[in-house]
Chains A and B, each alone.
Chain A
């Protein structure tokens, strides 16, 4: 078989489906006029498609419709809103499921212990702690130093004796030695 025939036969279904361009359709038609083999294939294919499109099965359509009607009655014929929704089992099931979820959430939230509010003194303590944490270290050191000097200026203050590195008793003992 010639290449021309092979190419033509490949395009026969597209030609019969009307999906070929004008130029290609004309070229194919010319080839089919002159080639008996391709023309026979094209005719056979066309007849088969026509037969497939034309043939309808012979069944008892009325009997089928009666069965469909019965099925529609069993399933529940469509009713206008809201009656249809009220009688729809699926809608009721969905509603019941939504209610159950909401109730579950409600009870879960209720049973969770709620953190009590802080008292005023607790809030003050927290604020103090935060304030101390934010204090500049240099300023903090200076304030501690001032406090120490104040204690040294006042020897009667008992807190003086608890200062680290300061031994008042040794100093007194040292000063009592005869010079």
Chain B
């Protein structure tokens, strides 16, 4: 079953789900659970409610299956729901800097299997830099940065997900990269100072 399912596109699997084969939804969950969880975590900084948020995203996608346009990409559609869920959560809770800091110290992110203490510390430091930098970006810049530079989506996909023109995505991303670079430079200077 899984071999057959692996050969199917997301869209054809979701079409089967819409036509009553709910079991196939598990295949899509397996494909997208980690990217969706990672994306939400980086957008909200929330680790303790991450399981709730991931469940909310996949349930919302299932419940809204009648609104899915078959011509569109399932991935973009699912990510749109994920971004909206993250936005709603951020609006309610604000950006969770403390949770981000916990994450950066290694809680919630894999890393315990690192061979050396030095590399563990380096990774921890990098996560700290990443999370604190992300927390200092505005939500729109953070969304553009996470979707493009972390998740590796195309500009067109991001424009569809954020429902804005490609030019807007580019300008937000440019501002986000500039801010992230400045924060990187600041941390380097502070280390050297």
Contacts and interface: CB of A to CB of B under 8 A. Distances in A.
Contacts of A59: 37, 50-51, 54, 108
Nearest to B148: A17
Interface in A24-54: 40-41, 44-45, 47-49, 51-53
Contacts of A53: 149-152
A51 B110 contact: no
A44 B181 CA distance: 9
Among B122, B123, B181, the most chain A Cβ lie within 10 Å of the Cβ of: B181
Contacts of B148: 17
Given A41-B185, A51-B123, A55-B110, A75 B55 contact: no
Interface size class of B (residues with CB under 8 A): 35 or more
Contacts, number: 121
A64 interface: yes
Interface stretch (B5-13, B19-27, B72-80, B83-91): B19-27
Contacts of A52: 42, 130, 146, 149-150
A47 B128 CA distance: 12
A49 B150 contact: yes
Contact of B108 (A13, A41, A57, A67): A57
Interface string B168-193: 00000000011011001101100000
A41 to B, nearest CB: 6
A178 to B, nearest CB: 114
A14 B170 CA distance: 11
B166 interface: no
Interface in B23-79: 25-26, 29, 33-34, 37-38, 41-42, 47, 50-51, 54-55, 58-59, 62-63, 65
A10 interface: yes
B137 interface: no
A136 interface: no
Given A58-B110, A59-B54, A14 B184 contact: no
A80 B18 CA distance: 8
Given A17-B149, A59-B54, A45 B184 contact: yes
Contacts of B184: 41, 44-45, 48
B109 A56 contact: yes
Contacts of B149: 13, 17, 49, 52-53
Contacts of A57: 37-38, 41, 47, 50, 103, 108-109
A60 interface: yes
Nearest to A90: B66
B177 A13 contact: yes
Nearest to B155: A19
A47 B126 contact: yes
A10 B178 contact: yes
Given A12-B181, A48-B129, A81-B19, 4 more contacts: A45-B184, A51-B126, A57-B50, A80-B19
Interface of A: 9-10, 12-14, 17, 40-41, 44-45, 47-49, 51-53, 55-61, 63-65, 67-68, 71-72, 75, 77-81, 83-84
7 contacts: A17-B177, A52-B146, A57-B38, A64-B51, A68-B25, A68-B59, A71-B55
